[in-house]
């Protein structure tokens, strides 16, 4: 029987061949032999150090049954079926994984091929310590401009997301602030800050969000080459 919607009716007949042709109840049956279309816009982080959160867009069903749920895989690991268009996977360890989502309709036809995949790297190892090579300001009492330079660090390990950026912490005391004053994509940068800036800390942050250890503080010195 081909995919489609069918209406069934049963008409009783007696031994004299009289048949009841009207007033009978009917039953509508939807026959669906076609799997839904593939999911689209399968999204998630390329790198993470926490749970992997996936989202996707629901596809239309080719047949009349309608989409029922979604079958999610991490590599060959079956993560089960979900009825919503999102899933949080907290069972990952260091490594790179490929996720796939297969929609299934109410007739239990499942799209098992041709689906989008998403590659995610999970890493919790922070990058190495940064060494500040110079930290200068053009003026002491009214300093608002700080010129910085530091060593480039290289993320290392079996699974490496790579250094994404650097967090810069500036303070008037020897106590490191809780929040970064600025960020930079690479060494050598000029930043504006409040007066009497005295110390600086620079930490590398990898693409998975792991922040490296602190080396410092490095004292900010007066240098006329650091122009305001």
CATH code for the domain in which residue 67 is found: 2.60.40.10
Same domain membership, residue 111 and residue 38: yes
Point out the domain boundary residue: 89, 122, 155. 122
**CB atoms closer than 10 angstroms to residue 13:** 10
Indicate whether 22 belongs to any domain: no
Q: What total of structural domains would you count in the chain?
A: 2
Interacting residues of 77 by C-beta distance below 8 A, sequence separation 6+? none
Same domain membership, residue 102 and residue 169: no
Q: What's the pLDDT at 140?
A: 53
Same domain membership, residue 173 and residue 197: yes
Residue 179, domain extent: 132-222
Same domain membership, residue 138 and residue 108: no
Same domain membership, residue 114 and residue 47: yes
- Number of DSSP helices (H) and strands (E) in the chain, helices first: 0, 18
Point out the domain boundary residue: 94, 122, 150. 122
Instruction: Give per-residue burial for 179-213: e unless 16+ CB within 10 Å, then b.
Output: ebbbebeebebebebeebbbbbbbbbbbbbbbebe
Give the single-character DSSP code of 54: E
Q: What's the pLDDT at 136?
A: 87
Same domain membership, residue 95 and residue 41: yes
Q: What's the pLDDT at 35?
A: 87
Q: What's the pLDDT at 139?
A: 65
Indicate whether 156 belongs to any domain: yes
Same domain membership, residue 58 and residue 140: no
Same domain membership, residue 76 and residue 160: no
Point out the domain boundary residue: 122, 155, 188. 122
Q: What's the pLDDT at 142?
A: 56
Q: What's the pLDDT at 78?
A: 96
- Spell out, as residue ranges, where the chain has pLDDT lower than 50: none
Q: What's the pLDDT at 61?
A: 81
**CA separation for the pair 40, 38 (Å, rounded):** 6
Indicate whether 17 belongs to any domain: no
Same domain membership, residue 140 and residue 107: no
């Amino acid at each position: 029987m081909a995919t489609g919607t069918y209406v069934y009716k049963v008409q009783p007949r007696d031994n004299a061949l009289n048949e009841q042709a009207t007033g009978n109840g009917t039953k509508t049956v939807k026959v669906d032999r076609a799997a839904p279309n593939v999911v689209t816009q399968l999204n998630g982080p390329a790198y993470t150090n926490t749970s992997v959160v996936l989202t996707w867009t629901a596809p239309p069903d080719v047949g009349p049954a309608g989409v029922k749920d979604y079958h999610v895989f991490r590599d060959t690991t079956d993560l089960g079926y979900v009825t919503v268009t999102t899933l949080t996977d907290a069972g990952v360890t260091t490594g790179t994984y490929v996720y796939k989502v297969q929609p299934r309709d109410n007739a239990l036809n499942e799209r098992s091929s041709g689906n989008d995949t998403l590659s995610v790297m999970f890493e919790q190892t922070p990058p190495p310590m940064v060494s500040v090579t110079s930290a200068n300001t053009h003026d002491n009492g009214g300093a608002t401009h700080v010129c910085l330079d530091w060593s480039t660090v290289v993320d290392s390990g079996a699974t490496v997301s790579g250094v994404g950026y650097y967090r810069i912490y500036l303070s008037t005391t020897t106590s490191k602030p809780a929040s970064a004053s600025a960020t930079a994509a690479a060494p050598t940068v000029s930043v504006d800050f409040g007066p009497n800036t005295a110390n600086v800390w620079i930490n590398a942050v990898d693409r998975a969000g792991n922040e490296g250890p602190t080396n410092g503080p490095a004292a900010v010195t007066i240098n006329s080459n650091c122009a305001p």
